[in-house]
Structure 1
Amino acid sequence: MPFFSVIIPLYNKENYIQEALKSVLIQDFQDFEIVIVNDCSTDNSLEKANEIISEKIRYVNHEQNKGLSASRNTGIRNAKAQYVAFLDADDIWKPQFLQKIKALIDAFPEESLFATTYFEIYPDNLVLPPSVKSDDLKKEEMYLITDYFARSNSQPLYIPSSLCANKNIFENVGFYDEEITFSEDVDFNIRANSYSNLAFYNASEVGYTIFSENQITTSGIKGKKIPDLKYTTLEKENPALKKYIDFERYVLAKQCKLADRKVEFKSFVNSIDYKNLTFFQRILLKMPKSILLMIKKTKIFLLLKGWKITSY
């Protein structure tokens, strides 16, 4: 049995899947299998993946397109290893990623979540660091994060492609919600990090591709099912979680305004404690759709030039 099962959901990523696979196959730590879940790609993704020959790779095919959450769940259920690491088909790992995750597991065997930080990849090979709260954490050091929500109320400490989980966590908090097709990772992170501490390696071992084809993160929520973020009991127990969720409500409320989803916008806004938002975030929520759209386009333009502007 391999030590890791690497789960790669695959849907229309023909320009990226080979680099993703190669980044796994050159890992310093080699005790792993790769489970590619083909979610009925309509481009040449599967053909491109098949060009990479390795006995470590096996495929699971959906008979119909089910989405990212279902693809991850299919991978988890088909994983031979106790530890599952996720890699989106347009992201990449540095060669030491799995080795550092293994070091975390050895250091914190009682935990269920293990992750490193990441770097963001933009067109024209532009690389930027994320806006995460880790300035007090030394680079290339391991930590047990007991206050994940306090540290992730801007950009998260990790992304799905830098996360590894012991399969026992899915037995305790459930799998990815297959009804959710936007921000499904936020919903899972709330449940998972409320159950387990996070074993964290403060090293940027994962490349997160921004603006790839078919990427819902940058395309808005039109036609998408979003989480309702109703965790009343957990919020009462943990003020840091309340602040974390209010930030995510703020993010989704802006998306709802841009998509003219007025009922959901109102629901999110009414659930926010405005003390948990910055002055600029409160102002942005009150702005009309036209201004928000202009700001979004401006931010994307500046990002492509290497200038990162946020309201965090």
Structure 2
Amino acid sequence: MAFFSVIIPLYNKEAHIQSTLNSILNQTFTDFEIVIINDGSTDRSLEIVQSYSDQRIRLFTTENRGVSATRNLAMRKASGPYFAFIDADDFWYPQHLEKLYDTIIAFDHLSVFSTVQEIETANGVFPARHSNITSALLQEVDLFETSMTRSILAVSSLAIHRNVTETIGFFNETISNGEDTDYFIRIGFHYKIGLYNGITSRYTFVSGSLSNRAFQREHYCDFEQFWEIEKSNPAAKKVIDLNRFSLAIKCKIYGDRANYNQLVQSIDRSNLVFKQRLLLQLPAPVLVLLHRLKNYLEKKNIRLGAF
């Protein structure tokens, strides 16, 4: 039995999966298996994975069911005590699993672990920025206190003990947008995080775009499930309100006034900065223009914090 089970959902990533797999196979810590669920890919993704002969790779193919169902299936098929996640277009530096292992040994009373991630954009690579973390290389942190600017947890830098699923369950398969946010918030209410404060992974960022496809609120995280529990945790309330704000803006852009109103009513306005409170008041056409500006600036490595 391997120490880590590396969980990879795979759907139409022929341009990236080879680089991702090579980054895993080049790890300095080698006690792992790789559980890949090919989620009905229609490109060459499956063929590329099948070209590898490493016996640590376990490949399964299903009909297309979405990333949450795919991750859940991989976790159920995994044999290791720890699940290390990576998406099929992300990248690990060679010491990623070694540093996660060191963090697990240092904080053997914890069940959730992470390293720091960097983000690749069209205009370069920059480190993710988080709130309220110290300069210590190894530290025990609270998800909500450290996620006021960006979540301290990211899929491709996360490792959990398999017993976490017994407490909070698996990824919500009804969500197709923000399923990781939903899972991280559930983690935050039950677990502290063992953090290695160094960059060991890279996330490939693709800026959001507005499209003509139908916007369906039910495919996003239901933040109201946290309504009671967040009342006793101000940091959690703030982080969840920031997520409500982002979703409310999307609802207004797509003309979903009912869900916009419901989300806004749940937000404590004191958890928002002035720019965010102002954005909530702007008409949808102005928000569309600002959203396009935001995407353009992100390609230039400039992030608008208010969004």
What does residue range 113-262 of structure 1 map to in structure 2 within 5 Å?
A: 113-123=112-122, 126-134=124-132, 136-138=133-135, 141-145=137-141, 147-211=142-206, 218-219=208-209, 222-223=215-216, 225-230=219-224, 231-262=226-257
Alpha-carbon distance, 1:97 to partner:
0.6
Deviates more, 1:284-293 or 1:242-251: 284-293
Kept after mapping to 2: 8 A contact 1:21/1:52: no
Deviates more, 1:24-33 or 1:148-157: 148-157
Secondary structure of the 1:237 match is: coil
User: Matches of 1:113 and 1:52 in 2, distance apart?
Assistant: 30
Deviates more, 1:65-74 or 1:299-308: 299-308
Q: Which amino acid aligns with 1:198?
A: I
Secondary structure of the 1:149 match is: coil
For residues 131-158 of structure 1, what are the alpha-carbon distances to aligned partners after superposition, in whole Å with 9 as ceiling and x for unaligned?
Answer: 3225x5216x01001x320221221112
User: Matches of 2:273 and 2:198 in 1, distance apart?
Assistant: 28
Secondary structure of the 2:21 match is: helix
Secondary structure of the 2:202 match is: strand
Alpha-carbon distance, 1:23 to partner:
0.6
Pick closer, same or farther for the CA change 1:48–1:223 going to 2, 3 Å.
farther
Alpha-carbon distance, 1:288 to partner:
1.6
Alpha-carbon distance, 1:161 to partner:
0.8
Could you list the runs of 5+ residues in structure 1 that have no partner in the other structure? Answer: 212-216
Secondary structure of the 2:263 match is: helix
Q: Show the counterpart of 1:83.
A: 82
Percent of residue pairs bearing the same amino acid type: 39
Kept after mapping to 1: 8 A contact 2:113/2:160: yes
Kept after mapping to 1: 8 A contact 2:82/2:161: yes
User: Matches of 2:56 and 2:255 in 1, distance apart?
Assistant: 46
Q: Show the counterpart of 1:17.
A: 17
User: Matches of 2:4 and 2:209 in 1, distance apart?
Assistant: 32
Q: Which amino acid aligns with 1:3?
A: F
User: Matches of 2:264 and 2:216 in 1, distance apart?
Assistant: 21
Secondary structure of the 2:34 match is: strand
What does residue range 40-79 of structure 1 map to in structure 2 within 5 Å?
A: 40-62=40-62, 64-79=63-78
For residues 45-73 of structure 1, what are the alpha-carbon distances to aligned partners after superposition, in whole Å with 9 as ceiling and x for unaligned?
Answer: 111222333111111211x2111111110
Q: Which amino acid aligns with 2:175?
A: I
Q: Which amino acid aligns with 1:226?
A: Y
User: Matches of 1:90 and 1:109 in 2, distance apart?
Assistant: 30
Secondary structure of the 2:294 match is: helix
Secondary structure of the 2:129 match is: coil
Secondary structure of the 1:114 match is: strand
Q: Show the counterpart of 1:279.
A: 274
Q: Which amino acid aligns with 2:28?
A: D
User: Matches of 1:258 and 1:93 in 2, distance apart?
Assistant: 36
Alignment match of 2:283 (pick from 277, 281, 288): 288
User: Matches of 2:249 and 2:100 in 1, distance apart?
Assistant: 35
Alpha-carbon distance, 1:223 to partner:
4.7
Q: Which amino acid aligns with 2:223?
A: L
Q: TM-score if structure 1 supplies the norm length?
A: 0.92
Pick closer, same or farther for the CA change 1:222–1:45 going to 2, 3 Å.
farther
Q: Show the counterpart of 1:214.
A: none
Alpha-carbon distance, 1:29 to partner:
0.3
Q: Show the counterpart of 2:2.
A: 2
Q: TM-score if structure 2 supplies the norm length?
A: 0.94
User: Matches of 2:228 and 2:97 in 1, distance apart?
Assistant: 35
User: Matches of 2:169 and 2:140 in 1, distance apart?
Assistant: 23
User: Matches of 1:48 and 1:262 in 2, distance apart?
Assistant: 45
For residues 161-196 of structure 1, what are the alpha-carbon distances to aligned partners after superposition, in whole Å with 9 as ceiling and x for unaligned?
Answer: 110000101001111110111111111111112111
User: Matches of 1:76 and 1:219 in 2, distance apart?
Assistant: 31
Secondary structure of the 2:170 match is: coil
Pick closer, same or farther for the CA change 1:28–1:172 going to 2, 3 Å.
same
Secondary structure of the 2:305 match is: coil
Alpha-carbon distance, 1:258 to partner:
2.1
Pick closer, same or farther for the CA change 1:285–1:161 going to 2, 3 Å.
same
**Alignment length, in residue pairs?**
302
Secondary structure of the 2:60 match is: strand
